[in-house]
Structure 1
Amino acid sequence: MPDDATPDPYADPMGFGTRMQILRTRRGLSRPVAAGLLGMSPSWVKQVERGEIGMPKLPIVLRIAELLRVRDLADLTGDQSAPVDLFIGPGHPRLQEVRDAVNALTLNADREAPSAAHLAARLARAWTARHEAPNHREVIGELLPSLIRDAQLAVRQADAAADRRAAQAVLSEVYSLSQFFVAYQPDSALLWRVAERGMVAAQESEDPHAIGVAAWLAAQAHRDSGPAHFDAADAMTSEALRYLEGFLPDADDRTLAIAGALQFEAGYTAARRGDSGTAWGWWDKAQATARRLDSAYYHSITSFGQAIMGAHAVTVAVELRAGGESVRQVVSADAQAIRSRPRLARHRIEEARAYQLDGQQETALATLEKAHQAAPETIRYNGYARRIVLEETESKFPARRQRAAVLAEQLGMLAA
């Protein structure tokens, strides 16, 4: 290894502090910024990284892991005896089938492709099934392989330019559905391949809605890759919003909704940066867009509409790590208005984060139990929920430890 090469944080032996420093540097975080996000002083971070302070207790370790987007806790602690995945859930049994369909070449076929209208109808049923099912990954994992192959074939066999654009729009949305399935599973390369193909198909379709959806999902993928990728997330949302701006005066509901969803994504990234004014400013813009929609409108892909804005406010407050404000937003939000089971479970997780920030750990656990009731496959793949549960398994209160242990077992977190 060259003398100026970055050390490998996974090489042994290496202390906790050194691993933390390397991973922090890779994420593009300065010590002062990391310290602020952890609620500690820069000198404390420096002492930990230099080994002057030993490895912190589990709650702090988990917060560091969350900040640095560490996938496996052992990557930070160096303890390989009991690996615990935080931001990557277990591989779904249907992951290989979906991967095979994405990776397959559809060049020649001895059958006629379904029409774009037929595929669009199947897609609509798939989105409905996803929103209604507690085991939504299982449901869409079963539907995706044939949808992917048929949509690819429809593009391949389209002759007229209009037919080809229509088929590309459907293919792009199929990739969008695939991204919901692949996210937080142990194949990040597949996630990016799906995101990029979705964007290419959307651009080929020249459909504003398809382009907006692809950009919305790509921005999330960039943001979830960590602070070093926040600029890419911002660039994606900004460019998509500029493109959509000309369509908005006379836009149909779904195009208007994807613009609102992108506005919130810009606010979400700003909140991740800790920029409160920009985050709430974008939330206000998204709220104004939502009010242009009928009160009952609910976008089938992003869940955007008036009913989701309360949940979005909770997310902004939580990402800004404002405990009291987060709980106030929880009280104001109408969770029952969220029609999608996985989106409701996601909101319950955000509520739990709010309660934990406010020091209400017992309520946080109870809220995660509600998330599990709404959609077990959402909480099972959510890193924030997993972090809270794991932290509470170390609680000094026996009742909380027991409650957290039951949830940890349900989520499959403690398996060797």
Structure 2
Amino acid sequence: MPSDVTPDPYADPLRFGQRVQILRERRGMTRGQLADLIGVSPHTLRKIENGQQHAPGLEMVMRIAEALRARDLSDLTGHPDMHVDLFIGPGHPRLASVKAAVDSFTLASNVEPPPTAHLEARLHAAWKARHQAPNHREVVGRLLPGLIRDGQALVRHADRAADRRAAQALLAETYSLAQFFVAYQPDSSLLWRVAERGMTAAQESEDSHTIGVAAWLLAQAHRDSGPRHYDAADAVNLEALRFLEPLLPDASDDVRAIAGALQFELGYTAARRRDTGTAWRHWDEARKVAKKLPADYYHPVTSFSRAIMGAHAVTVAVELHQGGESVRQAAKADEAVIKSRPRRARHRIEEARGFQLDGQPDVAIATLEKAHRSAPETVAYNGYARRIILEEVESKEAPRRRRASQLAVDVGLLSA
């Protein structure tokens, strides 16, 4: 074969199958579980893994990649020239400066801390920007180094116990904001440092709402690490709910909302397990909490609210691979009332997943275009969106292929 001819990445089915098996076993999944997720029989999957079946087409490869949460297409193909990040977005230009701020501990007291009220105001402005800016990672990434530095300084200089607890609460909130920035970027160890330091600062603060938010984020870090970590995600969620439950009768809206968000996270993880009854039961419990909140209430970190429950229903249905149900839930959900741009875009992505599952790829691409208009960086860093776009770039339908290719260029997956 001439050296300038692109090799067939699936030409060696045994090699491909072995890679599928290795990734499956690393994820702690049985053959039956993976087969169920990708819509084939365990017998067929065994033949793929053993190299007895012709290598699958791109659509099936992408479904396998999604089910296994493969970070890079080359992990499945074995070809380094097929380097395509799937569930990890590109490293943001501000990632290095945020990482340096997280990793830096100034032991000397020469950094003068800002007044507490000043740091509170800056954090409030940062969260507002995170929810309103289309390029929210750029905005937050620019603010985080200073916020982390000043939060750490405020803790170091706190003399009284009450002041130290208040400073720890602000530092925990800063780490919560940092986790949103670091998520889906190519530095998983940094994500864990941020999540764990946020939980530590939250516990030091002794503030119930701060602890709930840190637990919500730590549980997500566990769940997104794969099936072997689902139990750990549930343990964090359940422990946080047990901590909050006695406080709820007299709690603020923020505390009740974080309890509702934690309740939904239990349903989300159950849906990942394909445990239909448990998933919808937790969704319904979360909905009961939401209904007790004011109609216009919106949690500043998790977006938990009455309005978000429709979007959460779409997510549950999609994770359960119930295409028709996800489309029905999407028809009920009113995304216009979701105030946060990135959360609105995330809901559109979940809708697109539902349309894809339901055999409506053209609607899925159109929905991702809407998501991109709302918050381009959300689409660029979302593995599900990237998977759908890359899959439809190879569509046999020319209009769909052109539309998907243009979106791939806009997102940064393909060169113009």
TM range (shorter): over 0.9
What corresponds to 1:8 in structure 2? none
How far did residue 108 of structure 1 move? 1.5
Mapped partners of 1:228, 1:84: distance in 2: 25
Mapped partners of 1:106, 1:209: distance in 2: 28
How far did residue 111 of structure 1 move? 4.2
Q: How does 1:149-298 map to 2 (within 5 A)?
A: 149-298=149-298
What corresponds to 2:336 in structure 1? 336
What corresponds to 2:4 in structure 1? none
- Does the 8 Å contact 1:17/1:49 carry over to 2? yes
How far did residue 81 of structure 1 move? 1.4
Match of 2:259, as an amino acid?
A: A
How far did residue 39 of structure 1 move? 1.1
What corresponds to 1:105 in structure 2? 105
How far did residue 369 of structure 1 move? 0.1
What corresponds to 1:142 in structure 2? 142
Relative distance call for 1:42 and 1:252 in structure 2 (3 A) is same
What corresponds to 2:299 in structure 1? 299
Mapped partners of 2:362, 2:300: distance in 1: 34
- Provide, for residues 151-196 of structure 1, a one-character-per-residue CA deviation record: whole Å limited to 9, x for no partner: 0000001010000000000000100000000000111110000000
Q: TM-score, normalised by structure 1?
A: 0.96
Mapped partners of 1:261, 1:117: distance in 2: 27
Mapped partners of 2:32, 2:141: distance in 1: 43
Match of 2:57, as an amino acid?
A: K
Mapped partners of 1:66, 1:371: distance in 2: 20
- Does the 8 Å contact 1:393/1:402 carry over to 2? yes
How far did residue 13 of structure 1 move? 11
Mapped partners of 1:13, 1:78: distance in 2: 11
- Does the 8 Å contact 2:14/2:49 carry over to 1? no
Mapped partners of 1:258, 1:293: distance in 2: 11
Mapped partners of 2:258, 2:120: distance in 1: 18
The reply to whether residue 45 of structure 1 matches residue 45 of structure 2 is yes
- Does the 8 Å contact 2:14/2:50 carry over to 1? no
What corresponds to 2:36 in structure 1? 36
Q: State the number of aligned residues.
A: 405
Percent identical residues: 67
Match of 2:339, as an amino acid?
A: R
Mapped partners of 1:57, 1:23: distance in 2: 18
Mapped partners of 1:215, 1:23: distance in 2: 28
SS in 1 for 2:81: coil
Q: How does 1:388-399 map to 2 (within 5 A)?
A: 388-399=388-399
Gaps of 5+ in 1: 1-11
What corresponds to 2:406 in structure 1? 406
Q: TM-score, normalised by structure 2?
A: 0.96
- Does the 8 Å contact 1:24/1:68 carry over to 2? yes
Mapped partners of 2:81, 2:107: distance in 1: 47
How far did residue 286 of structure 1 move? 0.5
What corresponds to 2:367 in structure 1? 367
Mapped partners of 2:18, 2:220: distance in 1: 29
- Does the 8 Å contact 2:111/2:153 carry over to 1? no
- Does the 8 Å contact 1:84/1:414 carry over to 2? no
Relative distance call for 1:13 and 1:315 in structure 2 (3 A) is closer
- Provide, for residues 317-358 of structure 1, a one-character-per-residue CA deviation record: whole Å limited to 9, x for no partner: 010010111000000001000000000000000010011111
Mapped partners of 1:83, 1:275: distance in 2: 34
Mapped partners of 2:97, 2:364: distance in 1: 36
Match of 1:147, as an amino acid?
A: L
How far did residue 50 of structure 1 move? 0.3
- Does the 8 Å contact 1:14/1:78 carry over to 2? no
Mapped partners of 2:140, 2:134: distance in 1: 11
